[in-house]
Structure 1
Amino acid sequence: MRKLYFLVPGTDKSFFCGGLFAELKILNLAKEICHSELVTYRQREIGNLFLDDILKQDVKNIIFIISWGFDIPNLIKKLKGCNVVYHAHSSGYRFNIPSYIPIITVSRNTMGYWGQKAPHSPIYYLPNQISDEFRNLNLTRDIDVLVQKRKSSRYLLEQLVPQLQSKCRVVLISTFVEDITKLFNHSKVYLYDSAEYWAQHRVSEGFGLQPMEAIACGCQIFSSLNGGLSDYLDPEFNCQKIAIYSTGYDIQRILKTINSPTPNIINDSSQLLINYRGKKIIERLEVILNEINLFFDYKPHFPSDIKILSKEIWIEALTKKIWNKLRFYKRFKFFHPFIILPCISKLIPFSS
C-alpha cells in the first residue's frame, strides 16, 4: 500500500477549525493501516514535512490527500502527475475534480454533491471521527444553554440568546476552547444554527462536528439541518430543529427541554455514534484505501474513455427541446417567436 501524505496549510492557531481537527483525526487512524504523515504547504513547521521538499523526490509510491477547499484548484495543478485524493468536507466551492482523482466525502450530503458534479470519479463515504473523549461523564449540568458564537446566525445571537438570558443560565463561547468536552457535559442544551453562516460563504456545512460531539456528551440539541447535519440529525428523535416560526416558539421548546426530567428526545446516543467511532472508521478506511490503491495501479496503463458532462450536452438537449416545440406548432400552422424565447433564454448562461 502506498504512503499517505495528508496536506494541510499549517497547524498553528491561525488554521484552527473543525476541518483541520477532523483531518488530524483521520491521519491518526490511517497510521494504523499504512505509513501516513502530515505535510504542510503554506508554511514550514518544525516536526512536519513540507510539500515543496517532497516534490523534489520520487513520489510514485505516495498518495497525497488534499482537503483545504479554497486551495484545491492550485494544489491539483501543483500535484499534476502525482497520485492525489480529494478528502471533501464542505461542498459548493465551484471547482471541478477530474475523474483521475478519487474523492472521499465526510457526509452523504457531500457525497451526493460530488456524485452529481463528478459522476465519473471514484467516490467513497468516510464520516468524521467522534473520538472517545466525547462521552457522558455524568457531571452536574449547571449550564442551561450553551452557544458558540462562531458560525452562529444573527437570529441566534441577536434575538434568541438575549431573551433566553433573562429566563435561564446561558453561556456564550466567543473564543477557542481547548477542552469543550467538559462544557458539553455541564450543559443541558446546546444551540447550533449555522445555515446563515454557510449561505454567506456560499459553501455547505460539511459535517457539523459540534452537534454530534454534544450529543455524545449527553446534551440536548437544537440545531439547523443544513448540509452534512442532515446526515445524522433527526428532529424529535435525537434533536430539535432551531429557528422554527418565531422566537417565542423556540424559547418555549428550549425551556421545556431544560426543565423536563424526562425529555421526549431519545438521549441514548450509543446507536447513533457507533459508526462514527474510531474502530468502524478504520474498518471503512482500510477498504477504501485498498480500492484507491488498485485504481492508481490501473490508471497509468489505461486512458479514460467516458465522455464527461459538458456545456455541449446541455446545449444539445435544449436545442432538441426547441426543435420539438417548432415541429409541434408547425403542425397547426401557428408560430410566434415568443414560443421559443423561454428555451433560448436558458442558453444565455452558456454564452459567457
Structure 2
Amino acid sequence: MKFVIAPDSFKGGLTASQVADAIETGLKRVYSTANYTLVPMADGGEGTVDALVHATHGRQLTTTVTGPLGTPVSAHFGLLGNGRTAVIEMAEASGFQHVPESKRNPLITTTYGTGELVSKALDHHVDQIIIGIGGSATNDGGAGMAQALGVELLDQTGNQLPFGGGHLNDLAAVNLANRDRRLDHTHLLIACDVTNPLVGPTGASVVFGPQKGASPSMVATLDHNLRHYAAVIHQTIGRDVATVPGAGAAGGLGAGLLAFTNASLKRGVDLVIQYSGLKDKAAGADFVFTGEGKIDRQTQFGKTPYGVALAAKEVAPNAPVIAIAGNVGSGINSLYQSHAINAIFTSVAGVKTLDDALLEASHDIAQVAENVGRLIQVTMNK
C-alpha cells in the first residue's frame, strides 16, 4: 500500500516536514510495512524554501542582508537540487518578524534586503528564481528591492530616494544603466496568492497597509505615492504595473518585480506542486494525506490542501484525499462538494490552551493519523 503525505506547515507550531513525519508515525502504527512518500508542501509563503529544498535534495544558505528597518538581519534562501533554480521568501529579509509592533511604519520600511537576497542567489549562476512574497512589513512598491539590484530611483536633484513608501512621491526619474545585467538572463517566478492591484480601493496600501502599522492618513499618502511611482515607471520604462492583478502583493513588491526584472506571477501552491514533483510522486497512491493549521471555506482559494488534492486526483483519481488540520472552520462542505478532499479531521485532542495545543501538536497529529489508519484497516478488511 502506498501513502503519499503532502501537508503544509501548521504555522506557529510545526514545519511541513514535521507534520509529514507525525502523520507517517501515526500511520506506521497500523501499516508498518507500507510505502510512504513524504512531500512537505507550502503555498509560496512561509515554508516554501524548506519544502522545495527538501523535495529536490537541494541546500539552504544563510546570509546577512538589510532588514525592513535598515538594520542587518540574518536570512536564508535555497538552491534546488537541479543547481539552476533558487528559491527565496521575501519575508526572510523584509518580513514582519524583523519589525517590533511598536516600530511598524510602512512609510519607512524597505524591501532592500529582498533585492540583496536576489543578488546573492544570482551569485550562484542560477537561471531561475522562485520568490514567495507573503508576510511583508513593507509598502514601498519594491523600490528598495530595485535599488539593491542597481536600479537608480532619482529625485529632481538626481539623488537616490531614501528607503520607504513615504518618499515615492519624490520620484522624478528611473535610471537602469547600472541595473544588474544578470537579471536579463534570469526568470523570476513570483509565488503570489492575491490578486490585488498596486493602487486604488483594493490596492496594496488600502488593503494591507493597516496591518503594517499605517494610520488612515498614512494609507492615503502611501496609495498616492504608489500611484505616482507607477506613473513614473510607465513614463520612463514603458511598463504599466498600476492595475496588474497581484502587483499589490507584499506592499507592491509584485509591481516592482514586474517593472524591473524578467518576472511572471504564479499561484504559490502551483509552483510548489510543480517544483516538488508532487504529481509524479503521487502516481499510484492508494491514499493521500494533506493538511495545514486551519481548513475552512477559504481553503479552496489557493491553499495547499486543495491544491494537493487536485494534483493528486489527476494522477491517482481513485485515491481518497484525507486532510488533517489543527482548526476546522466553517464552510468545509464546499470542499466535499468539489470532490477533491474526501475527509477532514481535526488534530487537536480535547479541550486545551493554545500553548498546549502547539506543544502537543506532533503527538496529536500522529494520534489522529493512527486513528484514520485503523478506520482504513477496518473498512478494507470487511
TM-score between the two structures when normalised by the length of structure 1: 0.30
Structure of greater relative contact order (alpha carbons < 8 Å, 6+ residues apart): 2
TM-score between the two structures when normalised by the length of structure 2: 0.29
Q: Which has the larger radius of gyration?
A: 1
